[in-house]
Structure 1
Amino acid sequence: MTGMLRSDRDPHAAGRLPLHRGDRPQPPGKTRQTIGLLLVLGVVLVCFWLVDARWGRLIEAPPILADYFELMAQGVFQNPVEDPTVGYWQRAFDLMLESLYMAWIGTMIGALLSFPLAFLAAENVAPKPVVFVTRQFLNAIRAIPELIFAIAIMLPIFGLGPLAGALALGVGSVGTLGKLTSEVIEGTDRGPVEAARASGAGFLATLRWSIVPQALPETIAFWLYRFEINIRAGAVLGVLGAGGIGSILSDLFRVRAWDRIGITLLVIIVVTVIIDQISARVRNRIIQGPGVSARSTQLQPVTGPAAA
């Protein structure tokens, strides 16, 4: 006992210096952090230099943008009674609805194809060789933009029109939705899975009653989020002739019809904002459940007898 106490008190025996009252441990060095920040800054500066952009033209951008906005506003604020192009508003809304149809069909195709692939890409469900192959397949799909799918595959096969655009959006959605859904599956609680196995449930029954109910709410939220992305991507695919409101933007920019360009962009912005708000509310309802809002989740002061 005496030797043990002596070794604890002796700095030479313990191999350390004694700490006095009021001493603080030395803070970790910031050399590595500083070097890392300098390297990141160096990479950013090199990228700015390699881009070879005329950065001086940024000063000229505000007045040029103001002129373009003024030209586009002339079409937006024209009197629809006296303007012979009043029918263009209806055409813009019809084509925007076509873009919504394309985005919805593409999202449904992506959801139906990605959901079973997500289980094959989840490490807690499928064996490692299957997980590796499925993940590489999803990575390959994510690496190819929807524009390439439309130009190289869909348009040559199905021709010009919204069908090619919807299929391009659907195939492009598989990679992203499959990866996100597989991560949700891997993050599920193992308690229900072990309970189902203990009760004698088979593999498919365990997936159906233990994993799918846990993963489905967040998965549907990802589907809605991808629908919002497909709306914007569908407007771009329309420029290639794949249908939707983008099909008229290329012609308008070619003839510099700024009044109609303003109407088209306003329709795209308004419809997209409305869809985003509705989708956000639906996602909140799915994830948090009925009757739950952001205000109700905040801490409320305790009153009454419980406060005492």
Structure 2
Amino acid sequence: MTAATATGARTERPKRPSKARYVALEIAALVLVVVCLIGVDAKWARLLEAPGEIWNYLGLMARGVFQNPFADPYAEYWTTSFEFMFESLAMAWVGTVIGALLSVPFGFLAASNVAPAPVVFVVRQFLNAIRAIPDVILAIVIMVPIFGLGPLPGALAIGVGSIGTLGKLTSEVIEGIATGPVEALRSSGARPLQVLRWSVLPQVLPEIVAFWLYRFEVNIRASAILGVVGAGGIGSLLSRVFDGRDWDRVGIALVVIIGVTMIVDQISASLRHRIITGGERIESTPRTLADFS
């Protein structure tokens, strides 16, 4: 083989990789979308009517919102909505506390770097089973038949549902810890519980608390849904006034739900940021050498 031939072989452009697999995946995804659209058996033609219908119902609900809130009967509408919304907040808070307290031990037992493999497998399947059951089903099938109607079954359903999600998130955070502090404590003769208390828990606690706050936001929305099935909260008020087509009260209740939820979301987001970052702010202005002198 001559030098020219070798040089020509080296400079030959490589063959372009085949895109057949990616094209096949895209076609499969498109087919799956089409099958799902056919499977839902929706009346897609009604989508054209949706904008007009939405505008019509928004007008009906806004009629009560823009009335004088201190005049009868609208003052009673606003007061009742806030009372039921406070009940939803209480349900969400109690459910979050239940889920937070019980999810921590389950999270440790589901972490592969902390618990034995058989225990991890069993606990993970238990958490998967909990997450597979929606909060509404927990309330209808288990909590309401046992405890009756009211906010208690709703709070318990939220609490049980929170265990599955928070337990999974906790285990994932534990599995991502730095191993240095753990090895240092073990080499000094610390017992397993001492290692968990003084090495693992301090590393994961800020993120776990942030998960608790986020779950509280989710539970507020869940509490509004649970009320529709008789589990208390503002959902029960919405169900009652919607059955009577009392659009004034429906609009007021929705405004209260949206307003209170947005306020709680902002407070929770601020607390989560402070917990995770320690309240430090990243300066956007560039620094010069004089700043470090």
TM bracket (short chain): over 0.9
| Deviation, structure 1 residue 277 | 0.5
| Deviation, structure 1 residue 149 | 1.0
Do structure 1's residue 270 and structure 2's residue 270 form an aligned pair? no
Letter in 2 for 1:34: V
**CA–CA separation in structure 2 for the residues paired with 1:155 and 1:180:** 28
Counterpart in the other structure of 2:9? 18
Counterpart in the other structure of 1:158? 147
Do structure 1's residue 233 and structure 2's residue 218 form an aligned pair? no
TM-score, normalisation: structure 2: 0.94
SS in structure 2 of the partner of residue 242 of structure 1: coil
Counterpart in the other structure of 2:194? 205
Counterpart in the other structure of 1:171? 160
Do structure 1's residue 302 and structure 2's residue 281 form an aligned pair? no
Cα 1:228/1:10, change in 2 over 3 Å: same
| Deviation, structure 1 residue 161 | 1.0
Counterpart in the other structure of 1:284? 273
Do structure 1's residue 86 and structure 2's residue 75 form an aligned pair? yes
Counterpart in the other structure of 1:108? 97
Counterpart in the other structure of 2:107? 118
SS in structure 2 of the partner of residue 19 of structure 1: helix
Count of residue pairs brought into register by the alignment:
292
SS in structure 1 of the partner of residue 193 of structure 2: helix
Cα 1:24/1:194, change in 2 over 3 Å: farther
**CA–CA separation in structure 2 for the residues paired with 1:306 and 1:164:** 59
| Deviation, structure 1 residue 17 | 7.8
Structure 1 unaligned residues grouped into runs of 5+: 1-5
CA contact (8 A) 2:109 2:123 kept: yes
CA contact (8 A) 2:68 2:74 kept: no
Cα 1:222/1:97, change in 2 over 3 Å: same
Letter in 2 for 1:199: S
**CA–CA separation in structure 2 for the residues paired with 1:301 and 1:72:** 50
| Deviation, structure 1 residue 29 | 2.3
Counterpart in the other structure of 1:246? 235
Larger radius of gyration: 1
Letter in 2 for 1:54: K
Moved over 2 A (4+): 8-11, 23-29, 80-85, 304-308
**CA–CA separation in structure 1 for the residues paired with 2:70 and 2:208:** 47
Out of 52, 56, 71, the residue aligned to residue 63 of structure 1 is 52
Percent of residue pairs identical: 61
**CA–CA separation in structure 2 for the residues paired with 1:196 and 1:140:** 35
Aligned residues: CA RMSD: 2.1
| Deviation, structure 1 residue 9 | 10
Cα 1:9/1:203, change in 2 over 3 Å: farther
Structure 2 unaligned residues grouped into runs of 5+: none
